[in-house]
Structure 1
Amino acid sequence: MDYKLILVFVEDEKADRVLDAARSAGATGATVIPNAVGQGKARQFGLFGLEVLSPRQILLMLVEQPRASAVLDAVCKAGGLDESVDTGIVLELDVSRAVGLTEHIKELLKEHPLK
């Protein structure tokens, strides 16, 4: 089976909604990296000259290739992710090899057979 790694960089308050949508679209789960911060093109400073960094979460989902497009579309819709500035970023990468997913995939296929 071929897999895709979907990485989602999203604001904290959108993470649960994005994860629920991904599961509904066929993702078996995700690894969540909380409290990630980043900088855009220009640094932003707030009160007392302190830099303002919006906390984000990074969601990593390993998805079977036939389900990847549906999961990515669901994630974008749920998180309001598009080409606008500051909405978040979604990446899809090819995975050349994955180990440890056989039982997860069997359970998923029982619940959501591939069409």
Structure 2
Amino acid sequence: MHFKLIIVFVEDDKTDLVLDTARENGAKGATVVNNARGEGTKQSKTFFGLTLETQRDVLLLLVEEHLSRHILEAIAKAAQFDSKPGTGIAIQIDVEDAVGVMHQVELLTHELEDKI
């Protein structure tokens, strides 16, 4: 079984929405890194040296490759990545190998045997 890693950079108030959406569309779990900071095309405004921007979270989702594009699109739609600038971005990258995922493989094998 082959996996993709979906990496999501999202405003912290949308983290739960993204996690729920990913799970509803086939993701089995995620790792959340809190309090990341990002900067888009416009520089952040500061007030006495403090940045005036919302916090970001980084979500790491290891998903089965046949589900990855569907999950990526569902996340983008739910969190409005393409309709509201600065809301967040999501990317997927190939995973060459993974260990510690045998429980996921067993679950996914039963779920995907009719689809692939």
TM-score greater than 0.5 by the shorter chain = yes
Gaps of 5+ in 2: none
- Give the superposition deviation at 1:49: 5.4
Give, in whole Å, the separation in 1 of the partners of 2:93 and 2:5.
5
1:20 aligns with 2:20: yes
Sequence identity (%): 44
Alignment of 1:1-115 (within 5 A): 1-48=1-48, 50-82=50-82, 84-110=84-110, 112-114=111-113, 115=115
The CA RMSD measured in Å over matched residues stands at 1.8
Count matched residues: 114
Deviation at 1:106, TM superposition (A): 1.1
CA distance in structure 2 between the aligned counterparts of 1:24 and 1:51, rounded to whole angstroms: 35
TM-score by length of 2: 0.86
- The separation in 2 between residues aligned to 1:38 and 1:3, in whole angstroms, is 27
8 Å Cα contact 1:5/1:60 also seen in 2: yes
The structure richer in strand per residue is: 2
Q: 1:83 to 1:90 in 2, by over 3 A?
A: farther
| SS of structure 2 residue aligned to 1:32 | strand
Q: TM-score by structure 1 length?
A: 0.87
